[in-house]
Amino acid sequence: MTDKPTLEPSTDNDEILFDINGESLCIYMSPAAKRWLGTFDLPTVQTLFTEYPDVLLGFAQMVADGEVVDLVAAYGHRWELHPMFDQANNFAGALITVQVLPNQQVATPDGALLFATALLATSWQYDLAQDVLLLGPELKAALGIGAGPQSLAGLAHHTALVEALTQQIERLRTGGAELFSAEVTAGHPGGAVYNLLIRGQVCDRDADQKVTRVIGVIEDVGLHIEQLQRRRQNESTMIRVEKLEATGNLVGGIAHDFNNILSSIIGYTELALMEAAERTLDRQRLSTYLQEVFQGGKRARELVANMLSFSRADETQPQTLDLMLEIKEAVKMLRASLPSSIDIRLDIDESLPEVFVDKAFLQQMIMNTCINSRDAMEDVGTIFIRGRMADINKQRCSSCHEFFDGEYVELAIEDTGSGIDPALIDGAFEPYVTSKPMGSGMGLATLHGMMHRGRGHVRLDSIQGDGTELRLFFPPARAFNHPFPAQPNLDVQRVRGNEQQHILVIDDEVSLVYYLRELLRKKGYQVTVASDSHEAWDIFSADPDKFDLVVTDQTMPGLSGVQLAAKMLTLREHLPIILCTGYSDIVEEGNISQYGIKGYLAKPIDSRELLRTIHELLQAAA
């Protein structure tokens, strides 16, 4: 075995060095290393660096590969792991050195530059009986604290740090906890600011079991926070970019589908009018024509809902969804955007449990992935979309690189394209990574955050020249509500007692307000309508007690629905009001109560839901 150098305590107090033997035990720590991590008796690498998983992975890589590992900027430090071997080329140990990397420059009041560095973790201890606080020299220098022991009261310029330590030490003293972790912001008088994570625990007690000494570690986590913020900003940017790109790819197909729907609605309406003009009316044929008009309207409503999902900002709104229905809905939109030379094959288990995910994200992900497949196949090939329950046993996520197992709902999208360049696979989930000459990326950058917020995982498998498969794993969810009625409302029975109820209906779309008037009259209600919000206010304010309930649109010239409701409620505090809207940035079902509004309906209005809501509100007000 080659002789390893005999290390003496370094004269350089800033040198952080660890000497590891062949059994992964630390046999020497430099003074700076001891000040950083504390003193141990032959600690293992695992014990020393348990807070630094990247370093542990780097150590394992160094042992396996037999080569130097250089972790630049890991935790704000530069780690160099140098392996050593005996004459038989067996692993005999390692030297690990750590350097602080510069982080930022801050101007002091006199114009000089103060160099702020990412602090290494430093130990601290506090003697409760003597009110003596011992801090590491690196932390003192960074925060401008004088040499020697300090009292807590003596750190007058670091109020947040003193308050955090005082509060947490008191918890330990009174038995509220045995250890603690707290975050605090502290800075140098010259301007440098640090985000500190303070950990502490009880060290000594006296004969009466009273806490006498507390020890712990203080670490600068500023770089961790910055990296997380940058990643979230990148995700937010990529969501917007990918929505624009996906919308651009789909707009032609959406226009095509919408024109088809309008042609069907207009055509069957003309046939219904022709049939109604005949001397001998064929009610069955007329009913068939009108049924087709209804189905066309329903398809248009679904298409508008999809477009609104894409037009939303990047805030997510997870909900319980039927994966099979969402896939079919996305594929329906896709078929108009993909050439006929690309075949889409579905294999979805019908008994799949629902998943809890943002609808816009799910459909955007399916569409972006299929568009990527289209490009990879150069407009000729097959896309396979599969859905099944999967019992996972220790698979590694391609995004977070952690192992996961358990039951998941699996969505797999596979193509017969050219595959992904192996050089791009590892970075496929990073922003702006792409194999295309133009474009924002492969659309995978948003998957990491979106999937993992919902406790999901991702697998990306690709063989260059032999296609790519993206597999998404969602935890199963429960409860599901179907969004659209399956059949039109043909119940025209009048309800006894409704003729005593008077409803005011307001909408600036004249045809819609007349439709609602006819619908409510068929159910026996008295109805007054207005197509202008100011006109509606004049009618209502002239006799507020005349009306039992109000149905109003939100987006109108003049007063909005919320503004009109606020004015009406000043005259009738408990007036039942139903707000209808096709799209609004201001009001939604979850916040209507703050405006005093009792009911909310999304357009296009479902007549069953409208009549049910009116009945319930009138019953409650009776």
Is residue 9 left, alpha or beta, with left meaning phi > 0 and alpha meaning psi from -120 to 50?
Answer: beta
Q: In this structure, are 409 and 281 located in the same domain? A: yes
Q: In this structure, are 215 and 245 located in the same domain? A: no
pTM: 0.37
Q: How confident is the model at residue 438 (pLDDT cuts 50, 70, 90)?
A: very low
Q: What is the structure's pLDDT at 366?
A: 84
Q: Is residue 449 part of a domain?
A: yes
- What CATH number should be reported for the domain holding residue 264? 3.30.565.10
Q: In this structure, are 96 and 128 located in the same domain? A: no
Q: Is residue 11 part of a domain?
A: no
Report how far residue 320's alpha carbon sits from residue 350's, in angstroms, rounded to the nearest whole number: 16
Report how far residue 595's alpha carbon sits from residue 609's, in angstroms, rounded to the nearest whole number: 21
Q: What is the structure's pLDDT at 540?
A: 96
Locate 29 and state its tokens. Answer: 């720590």
Between 513 and 496, whose confidence is greater?
513
pLDDT of residue 412 exceeding 80: yes
Is residue 232 left, alpha or beta, with left meaning phi > 0 and alpha meaning psi from -120 to 50?
Answer: alpha
Q: Is residue 610 part of a domain?
A: yes
Of 256-265, 395-404, 440-449, 537-546, which has the strongest mean pLDDT?
537-546
- What CATH number should be reported for the domain holding residue 162? 3.30.450.20
Q: Is residue 482 part of a domain?
A: no
Q: In this structure, are 141 and 211 located in the same domain? A: yes
Taking residues 13-27, report their average pLDDT. 81
Report how far residue 301's alpha carbon sits from residue 565's, in angstroms, rounded to the nearest whole number: 27
Say if strands 342-348 and 69-74 run parallel, antiparallel, or are unpaired.
Answer: unpaired
Taking residues 538-556, report their average pLDDT. 94
Last residue of a domain, one of 43, 72, 100: 100
Q: How confident is the model at residue 13 (pLDDT cuts 50, 70, 90)?
A: very low
Q: What is the structure's pLDDT at 442?
A: 41
Q: In this structure, are 300 and 328 located in the same domain? A: yes
| Cβ-Cβ contacts under 8 Å for 170 (sequence gap 6 or more) | 176
Q: What is the structure's pLDDT at 314?
A: 44
Q: What is the structure's pLDDT at 14?
A: 58
Report how far residue 562's alpha carbon sits from residue 575's, in angstroms, rounded to the nearest whole number: 14
Between 357 and 525, whose confidence is greater?
525
Q: What is the structure's pLDDT at 79?
A: 84
| Cβ-Cβ contacts under 8 Å for 175 (sequence gap 6 or more) | none
Q: How confident is the model at residue 11 (pLDDT cuts 50, 70, 90)?
A: very low
Q: What is the structure's pLDDT at 319?
A: 78
Whether the upstream peptide bond of residue 604 has omega within 30° of 0, thus cis, is: yes
Taking residues 383-387, report their average pLDDT. 92
- What CATH number should be reported for the domain holding residue 606? 3.40.50.2300
Q: What is the structure's pLDDT at 552?
A: 95
pLDDT of residue 384 exceeding 90: yes
Q: In this structure, are 63 and 126 located in the same domain? A: no
Residue-range definition of the domain harbouring residue 426 = 233-477
Q: Is residue 486 part of a domain?
A: no
Between 231 and 553, whose confidence is greater?
553
Taking residues 332-341, report their average pLDDT. 77
How far, rounded to the nearest angstrom, does the alpha carbon of residue 61 sit from its chain's CA centroid?
A: 32
Q: Is residue 1 part of a domain?
A: no
Is residue 384 left, alpha or beta, with left meaning phi > 0 and alpha meaning psi from -120 to 50?
Answer: beta
Taking residues 487-502, report their average pLDDT. 69
Report how far residue 142's alpha carbon sits from residue 88's, in angstroms, rounded to the nearest whole number: 46
Chain segment 307-335, per-residue pLDDT in tens: 655 444 445 567 788 888 888 888 887 77
Q: Is residue 488 part of a domain?
A: no
Report how far residue 75's alpha carbon sits from residue 94's, in angstroms, rounded to the nearest whole number: 21
Q: In this structure, are 380 and 255 located in the same domain? A: yes
Q: Is residue 490 part of a domain?
A: no
Taking residues 591-608, report their average pLDDT. 85
Locate 563 and state its tokens. Answer: 């503004």
User: For the chain, how are helix, strand and coil distributed in percent, rounded to 5?
Assistant: 40, 30, 35
Last residue of a domain, one of 58, 81, 100: 100
Taking residues 48-54, report their average pLDDT. 75
Q: What is the structure's pLDDT at 618?
A: 92
Taking residues 3-8, report their average pLDDT. 32
Between 2 and 614, whose confidence is greater?
614
Q: In this structure, are 195 and 56 located in the same domain? A: no
Residue 144: is it exposed, middle or buried by C-beta count within 10 angstroms (0-12/13-18/19+)?
A: middle
Q: What is the structure's pLDDT at 535?
A: 94
pLDDT of residue 295 exceeding 80: no
Question: Do 399 and 457 touch, CB atoms closer than 8 A?
Answer: yes
Q: What is the structure's pLDDT at 614?
A: 93
Last residue of a domain, one of 220, 245, 263: 220
Lowest mean pLDDT of 100-109, 287-296, 350-359, 538-547, name the range. 100-109
Q: Backbone phi, then psi, for 159, in 5-degree steps?
A: -60, -45
Q: In this structure, are 92 and 111 located in the same domain? A: no
Mean confidence (pLDDT) of the chain: 76
Chain segment 237-286, per-residue pLDDT in tens: 565 555 555 555 555 556 656 666 767 677 777 777 777 777 677 778 77
Q: What is the structure's pLDDT at 354?
A: 87
Q: Is the dihedral of CA 310, 312, 315, 321 positive or negative?
A: negative
What percent of the chain is predicted at pLDDT more than 70?
74
Q: In this structure, are 240 and 299 located in the same domain? A: yes
C-alpha closest to that of 330 among 256, 424, 254, 266: 254
Q: What is the structure's pLDDT at 6?
A: 30
Chain segment 439-483, per-residue pLDDT in tens: 333 456 566 667 776 778 889 888 878 888 999 999 887 533 344
Taking residues 391-414, report their average pLDDT. 86
Report how far residue 239's alpha carbon sits from residue 360's, in angstroms, rounded to the nearest whole number: 11
pLDDT of residue 404 exceeding 90: no
Total domain count, the chain: 4
> Which stretches within 76-157 are classed as H helix?
137-143
Q: What is the structure's pLDDT at 386?
A: 92
Whether the upstream peptide bond of residue 576 has omega within 30° of 0, thus cis, is: no
pLDDT of residue 506 exceeding 90: yes
| Cβ-Cβ contacts under 8 Å for 407 (sequence gap 6 or more) | 389, 390, 391, 392, 476
Q: In this structure, are 364 and 505 located in the same domain? A: no
- C-beta neighbour count of 310 within 10 angstroms: 18
Q: In this structure, are 452 and 502 located in the same domain? A: no
Cross-strand bridge partners of residue 66: none
Question: Do 172 and 200 touch, CB atoms closer than 8 A?
Answer: yes
